[in-house]
Homo-oligomer: A and B are copies of this chain.
């Protein structure tokens, strides 16, 4: 293969994977981070290059592009940063094969580290929940799905109240998950949060990011749920392992907007549809943060 053909093939691969991550509106932050690690493994194996340094450069380039692809998703950023840190600083004396293997190994190590962190955070919360509680959530966090599964597996009965989570409708995915577990579940529109929150013993949400000051970045509507939970005196709990922790502060955050056509508004000259996917819930509305080190009523940044 000539150099320019290899280059075009590499560029095409990277573009496809970056576009897929940018357009993936269904996956939460953890899942996106795991998909990005899998992309690095694939690219380590498929990248067209003859030298260790060429491969290294290409992988660093993809990792950096993936890191920046979804600014609201701290787990994606954390995973890519940790991947870059764990890679050797200099591969000038390495073989191409050893570089490939190391890249795959580092990715797999991080996949396991993410799974462990999520599992331990989930367990820390399971340990403090009593059987018979009613838990309310918004959107469909992989951590919250894992929590529900673990509660079920440990025989701790619970009821769930879940929202449809427009416009992505992640609530339907969560509804199917809970149905398979046989958990009695109420499914409501986002607008009904205020009608049902008083039936919950705890509100538990995942996180796309936790900012340095404890502010939660999560699916739009989370802030409304936090406000109505506070108003009703229902504790608001964030379940998010340290991969979700971000070094940013609220003023630095640009909340991602997604295509407006998801709202299906017919074209009108003076009306502009907006589709911001995330919102910011300030720490003052959060009662408990749970990560792999346990629950805390004060946010402890792990970065």
Contact = CB atoms under 8 A, between A and B. Distances in A.
Interface of A: 164-167, 172, 175-176, 178-179, 182-196, 219-221, 223-224, 227-228, 231, 255, 263, 265-266, 268-276, 279
Contacts of A268: 175-176, 179, 185
Nearest to A225: B224
21 contacts: A164-B265, A166-B191, A172-B265, A172-B266, A175-B268, A175-B271, A179-B271, A183-B270, A185-B268, A187-B265, A188-B274, A189-B263, A190-B221, A191-B219, A191-B224, A192-B220, A194-B223, A194-B227, A195-B279, A196-B274, A224-B227
A265 B193 CA distance: 17
Q: Is the interface of A mostly helix, strand, loop or mixed?
A: mixed
Nearest to A187: B273
A178 to B, nearest CB: 6
Contacts of A187: 263, 265, 271-274
A191 B221 contact: yes
Nearest to A164: B263
B175 A195 contact: no
B270 A185 contact: yes
Given A172-B265, A224-B224, A227-B227, A167 B189 contact: yes
The 6 lowest CB-CB distance pairs between A and B, nearest first, are: A191-B221, A194-B223, A179-B268, A227-B227, A185-B271, A191-B220
Given A179-B268, A185-B271, A189-B220, 4 more contacts: A178-B271, A194-B227, A195-B223, A195-B274
B185 A279 contact: no
